[in-house]
Structure 1
Amino acid sequence: RAIVVINPNNPTGAVYSRQTLEGIAELAERHRLLVLSDEIYDQMVYEQARFVPMATLVKGSLCATFSGLSKVYRACGYRVGWVSFSGDLEHAGPYLQAMDLLASLRLCSNVPAQWAVQTALGGFQSIRQLVSPGGRLHDARTAVIEGVARSRYLTLVPPAGSMYAFIGVDRALLPDFDDNRFALDLLEKQHVLVAPGISFNTDYNNYFRITLLPDPACLGDVFDRIERVLDEYADR
């Protein structure tokens, strides 16, 4: 049995507080649960948000922390990731041996790309400029927040981390809104690609995810196109 933590979160952009993470760690230790912590967006945080590694909080249970080069270091094509174990290693011997065996049997290491890991982790951390005011991701986040504010239909809890925003559509204005249908209409009519919220196993269908990777000017145009499709829905 395990608890999965994705922090900073995809798709919502939430960054969990120390208090929340301490509660998760306490629950895991009380019930002897493995903690699987996906922290691949760990340095993608904005404004006053602070990232807290789960490994610093989980002591009485086993914690597996996952990361890689594809997000913070923007090296998706390298296909390099890793998992590190911490916490109660003393009682995890058989599990760790099984994981090592499974990795040896099933995973094919990208050896040339592994040489990039040390340079990436120990070199200049350009992500800090990108998430600071004036940086590409920071300004794209601002453009998304402003785009939602201009809309008649959209709602948003501003993302505190990662490179996504999870945008809601007001049910009071569009009671029949369906995120899957909207994603298809937006792509076919306005040539904009978003991920419907239902693709993240939600039990509601009035959200969609947008990425912060386009430049701010492009995102401004994106929200104009989104509004056109939503206006069409409202006029039906």
Structure 2
Amino acid sequence: MEYRTAKRMESLPFSGIRAVMEKATKMQQAGEKVIHLEIGRPDFDTPEKIKEAAFKSLKAGHVFYTSNYGIPAFREEIARWETEHHGVKYEAEEVLVTVGVGEATYASMAAFLQEGDEVLVPNPVWLNYIHVPSSLGATPITYSLKEENDYQIDFDELESKLSDRTKMIVVVNPSNPTGGVFSFETLERLSRIAIEHDLLVVADEIYSQLVYDGTKHVSIASLPGMKERTITLGGFSKAYSMTGWRLGYMCAPKEIIQACVRVHQYTITCASSFVQEAAITALRDCADDVESMRQEYQRRKDYMVKALNEIEGISCNNPQGAFYIFVNIKQLGMTSMEMAEYLLEHAKVALVPGSAFGTEGEGYLRISYACSYEELQEACGRIEKAVAELKKK
């Protein structure tokens, strides 16, 4: 039998991040010591209180389906947390529990984008925001985030890309892959554009608790006139180190949630019951754990920014959020893919080529500093040696 994939699959490449990870893992299995800086996965264990809450839920027999929307008490807790931390007043009925931000991304776009619609998407960006709308028959139109602008929006460029087909704007704040955080002024101007052109905003804020150097994260939904047109996405993978638990959520007006749940119920049904109950504990009782991890990320970031900028031939800005550094390698005369392969082979350090995140990522490598301080020190030493050898050629 001949198997023919759907035509839409032509627009869905394999993840560039996972491709690097697979190659690095094979090298490791062959006995080579590879330092993994390619994956956005915290190296911390999930806080013990969260694990205990999950175990308690399992022992109590809470192993059945929940409402499609999520456990009521959990939705109430998410609404409370968002209201307290982001200054947006939500009710439980304005919350949908999802299986990670990945599913929330798909549901928010599948519910509202039609064939022929356009969606404005950052460049560079986590590529789900490019490929999900493409798979739905919509067209992603990218707006550039450049290092020389500290990864703020160039509004002349963005406004030139608006059309009568534009339906949605994606905001990833803090940014994956740059670590950039949008200023209040950037968000305020973006909100005016969204209101003027009657656009939906999908705001990915999963890294909102991981900001540094006194930076304040502002949720775009908190600005005047924005709650009613914003789908805010959040989750537990990053700040709570719960990547394998696969839990996220979206907050939006009830009418938007009701549209998204129809996608959710036919793809996922519901998130795991005991995971939802454990996450109630995360939101209520684990602020100190999150702050402890954030402080360690701050320490790692400070070291990496200094160490990388001391290596001749590469440079980086000082990112204010997430746990990524976008390293400029343009002086070295290699594409980002070539440089990532060179460092993996010669330095045994796994990094992601910036081109995996869009055209504006070319000339950069993404480093995740979500690994130990000692590994970061060794990685910088290896990178410095490999770059020095490259410059001699």
Q: TM-score normalised to the size of structure 1?
A: 0.89
Structure 2: give runs of 5+ residues left out of the alignment: 1-166
Q: Hey, which of these two has a bigger chunk of helix by percent? A: 2
Counterpart in 2 of 1:122? 284
How far is the alpha carbon of 1:163 from its aligned partner? 0.8
Q: Which moved more, 1:96-105 or 1:66-75?
A: 96-105
Counterpart in 1 of 2:192? 26
Q: SS state of the match for residue 217, structure 1?
A: helix
How far is the alpha carbon of 1:101 from its aligned partner? 0.9
How far is the alpha carbon of 1:203 from its aligned partner? 3.7
How far is the alpha carbon of 1:127 from its aligned partner? 1.8
Counterpart in 2 of 1:222? 379
How far is the alpha carbon of 1:122 from its aligned partner? 1.2
Question: Is 1:55 matched with 2:221?
Answer: yes
Q: Residues 2 and 42 from structure 1, CA distance in 2 versus in 1: closer, same or farther, beyond 3 angstroms?
A: same
How far is the alpha carbon of 1:170 from its aligned partner? 4.2
Counterpart in 1 of 2:341? 184
Q: Distance in 2 between matches of 1:159 and 1:41?
A: 13
Deviation string for 1:120-147 (max 9, x for gaps)?
111131222333xxx3211110121121
Of 13, 17, 36, which residue of structure 1 is paired with 2:179? Answer: 13
- Contact between 1:29 and 1:58, CA under 8 Å: does it hold in 2? no
Deviation string for 1:15-47 (max 9, x for gaps)?
111111111111101101000000000110111
Moved over 4 A (4+): none
Q: Distance in 2 between matches of 1:156 and 1:185?
A: 19
| Identity, % of aligned positions | 29
Q: Distance in 1 between matches of 2:344 and 2:324?
A: 18
Higher relative contact order (CA 8 A, sep 6+): 2
Deviation string for 1:140-190 (max 9, x for gaps)?
10121121122101111111010111110242xx2x221101111211222
- Contact between 1:37 and 1:63, CA under 8 Å: does it hold in 2? yes
- Contact between 2:175 and 2:322, CA under 8 Å: does it hold in 1? yes
Counterpart in 2 of 1:163? 323
Structure 1: give runs of 5+ residues left out of the alignment: none
Counterpart in 1 of 2:239? 72
Deviation string for 1:51-96 (max 9, x for gaps)?
001110152551000011100111011100001104xx6xxx3x54
- Contact between 1:164 and 1:211, CA under 8 Å: does it hold in 2? yes
Q: TM-score normalised to the size of structure 2?
A: 0.55
Counterpart in 2 of 1:98? 259
Q: SS state of the match for residue 181, structure 2?
A: coil
- Contact between 1:8 and 1:41, CA under 8 Å: does it hold in 2? yes
- Contact between 2:251 and 2:257, CA under 8 Å: does it hold in 1? no
Counterpart in 1 of 2:311? 151
- The one-letter code sitting in structure 2 at the alignment partner of 1:136 is E
Q: Distance in 2 between matches of 1:9 and 1:204?
A: 13
Q: Distance in 2 between matches of 1:3 and 1:197?
A: 22
Counterpart in 1 of 2:370? 213
Q: Distance in 2 between matches of 1:211 and 1:78?
A: 20
Q: Distance in 1 between matches of 2:279 and 2:168?
A: 28
Q: Which moved more, 1:180-189 or 1:19-28?
A: 180-189
CA RMSD of aligned residues (A): 1.6
